[in-house]
A = this chain, B = another copy of it.
Amino acid sequence: MKEKSVNALLVVAHGSRRQQSNDEVSVITDKLRASCHDDYTIVHSGFLELATPSIPDGIEQCINNGATRITVLPYFLNSGRHVVDDVPEIVDTVSKQHPDVEIVIAPHLGASPLMVDLLIDSAKSVSS
């Protein structure tokens, strides 16, 4: 019988010199953890640069917590170099060290079919 996978989410952001921006990523990660615990028992974040933990450290944290399947969520709006090249390369390198763990990368945020709904909701939040 196939064992049930232990699912983790890793929110991957660019990282900023402004601590407040990094804190905002932590806040959204905490909200995510509180909202999806039925499907994803482990939720962490990792930064490409300028902040810690790094993406490899974030992945290791998920694995140390028992994850057998990790979904990397790029917290980026556009499909720039970081999304297309940097994040996949880092994930690929760490993946090779953990062949027993499945790691997949979700699309960047701007590609989400829900982005339009989010924008309209945001506009309505300031309607008179």
Contact = CB atoms under 8 A, between A and B. Distances in A.
Interface of A: 9, 11, 13, 16, 18, 20-21, 24-25, 28, 31-32, 35-36, 39-40, 69, 71, 73, 75-81, 102, 104-107, 109-128
Given A24-B79, A106-B126, A115 B118 contact: yes
A118 B120 contact: no
13 contacts: A16-B78, A18-B78, A20-B78, A28-B119, A40-B123, A73-B119, A76-B77, A106-B123, A106-B126, A112-B122, A114-B114, A114-B117, A114-B118
Contacts of A80: 16, 18, 20-21
